[in-house]
Structure 1
């Protein structure tokens, strides 16, 4: 089993902001990645990953009228282990509601958004990876463009979802792109473990970043830890700031 790299406060924001390597990543237009007539399928391991990873360019896709499908793999109920304030039963209800509110704040058309919920157990996705791949495959078309978490992102669920999505896309003939989420925590700008040669930047106007920031505030459970059991917030301020830069990155 790999060592968990998501520890401490991670790589300081200023290292990313001052990185010439990151500054010179090639830029790509999200509407080029998802051309007219294609559907964007966002596959999120937990409620909030769809906003953390691509809450900026989701707004652009929605405004352009691209068809959207969100697949929420788990309900995120394992985010506060041992907490009486945030027990599993409460989280399993609250976290999907938080996602719905966040998507509303982004301006996504909830009336037409196809939203599938997988019901897989949070933090245990890898144990049912082949089943997840089959579930995803059932909801795909060959013309789809998938966005999901990178297969080496550092969180066990993110990695399992990335692998399962890649397998499903391959079987259907759909296109897959991967998103770094926790990578910004443990990696560094010149980290050779990150496939920078596959990385492209999608630039975000200030209004898109502002709406993404507002949407992330909907995840109240993740913004609050539980000091009674020694749990810090999952989305601490230093985590959010790394994910609120004026661009989002995809690995092609």
Structure 2
């Protein structure tokens, strides 16, 4: 799928998604059903902010279980503002990981106990690194891990590359794969047949989890503020969809 689809789309407000019959049929699961005590979550984030967009609500309930989380930040997100004089690649490489640190703290996670690794791969070019990523994951994954990353059809080249690499590693290592749509909320129609609705589930989030996720997302100033007349990287409609009392996943 082309990123041109993302750029060309005007976005879908939550009011339209509320009319989705497919979404209404997606079964509900609790965070504890997805990640029972003792199982490790391996969360693979293509860019700083994706870990919160994908799983901020799930993560917000893991205070005291930080040892059950391995967070892998694959890029530093330096490509989010091409040709910007304000947000240069050099500045973004420093800023965006700092935003993620602050965001994770808003989820009440103890970062001293969290296994958080950064790979520093090039933003926008992860398709070149798929073989490396598969090999890296094959070495890291353990039986009973839950491997979560962006969906293979999400419309962003890095999201899709990670989804493909994770799917290959999950199959090889026989671990559960959880794919999360992010940009699909922006470009897809509410009952879009391109989404794998037969695999769709909603992780139930209570008000506290949603509030913490909202506070965490607010840490990403570089992605939320207009830049020299350009709209913010993260559209308001997308954020609204991702701050509902659930996180949509494909199992």
TM-score (normalizing by structure 2): 0.94
Residue 158 in 1 paired to residue 177 in 2?
no
TM-score (normalizing by structure 1): 0.93
Task: Give SS of 1:5's match.
Answer: helix
Note the residue ranges of structure 2 that are not aligned, 5 or more in a row.
none
| Residue in structure 1 matched with residue 110 of structure 2 by the alignment | 109
Q: Deviations over 1:121-170 (max 9, x none)?
A: 00000012111222222322122111100000110000001111111222
Q: Distance in 1 between matches of 2:65 and 2:119?
A: 27
Q: Distance in 2 between matches of 1:185 and 1:239?
A: 6
| Residue in structure 2 matched with residue 47 of structure 1 by the alignment | 48
Instruction: Please show how residues 170-185 of structure 1 align to structure 2 within 5 Å.
Output: 170-185=171-186
Q: Distance in 2 between matches of 1:187 and 1:213?
A: 23
Task: Give SS of 1:170's match.
Answer: helix
Distance 1:58 1:241, change over 3 A: same
How far does residue 58 in structure 1 lie from its aligned partner after superposition? 1.3
Task: Give SS of 2:42's match.
Answer: strand
CA contact (8 A) 2:66 2:114 kept: no
| Residue in structure 2 matched with residue 4 of structure 1 by the alignment | 4
| Residue in structure 2 matched with residue 21 of structure 1 by the alignment | 22
Q: Distance in 2 between matches of 1:199 and 1:212?
A: 21
Q: Distance in 2 between matches of 1:157 and 1:85?
A: 23
Instruction: Please show how residues 27-42 of structure 1 align to structure 2 within 5 Å.
Output: 27-42=28-43
| Residue in structure 1 matched with residue 81 of structure 2 by the alignment | 80
Task: Decide which moves more: 28-37 or 43-52.
Answer: 28-37
| Residue in structure 2 matched with residue 246 of structure 1 by the alignment | 245
Q: Deviations over 1:89-137 (max 9, x none)?
A: 0000110010010000011121111111111100000012111222222
Q: Deviations over 1:193-239 (max 9, x none)?
A: 10111000111111111111111010011012322xx5321113222
CA contact (8 A) 1:118 1:135 kept: no
Task: Give SS of 1:151's match.
Answer: coil
Q: Distance in 1 between matches of 2:126 and 2:198?
A: 28
The list of structure 1 runs, each at least 4 consecutive aligned residues, that deviate by more than 6 angstroms after superposition, is none
Task: Decide which moves more: 230-239 or 178-187.
Answer: 230-239
How far does residue 60 in structure 1 lie from its aligned partner after superposition? 2.3
Q: Distance in 1 between matches of 2:178 and 2:125?
A: 23
Task: Give SS of 1:244's match.
Answer: coil
Note the residue ranges of structure 1 that are not aligned, 5 or more in a row.
none
Task: Give SS of 2:52's match.
Answer: helix
Distance 1:139 1:159, change over 3 A: same
CA contact (8 A) 1:68 1:113 kept: yes
Q: In angstroms, what is the RMSD of aligned CA positions?
A: 1.7
Q: Distance in 2 between matches of 1:72 and 1:150?
A: 16
| Residue in structure 2 matched with residue 232 of structure 1 by the alignment | 231
Task: Decide which moves more: 202-211 or 151-160.
Answer: 202-211
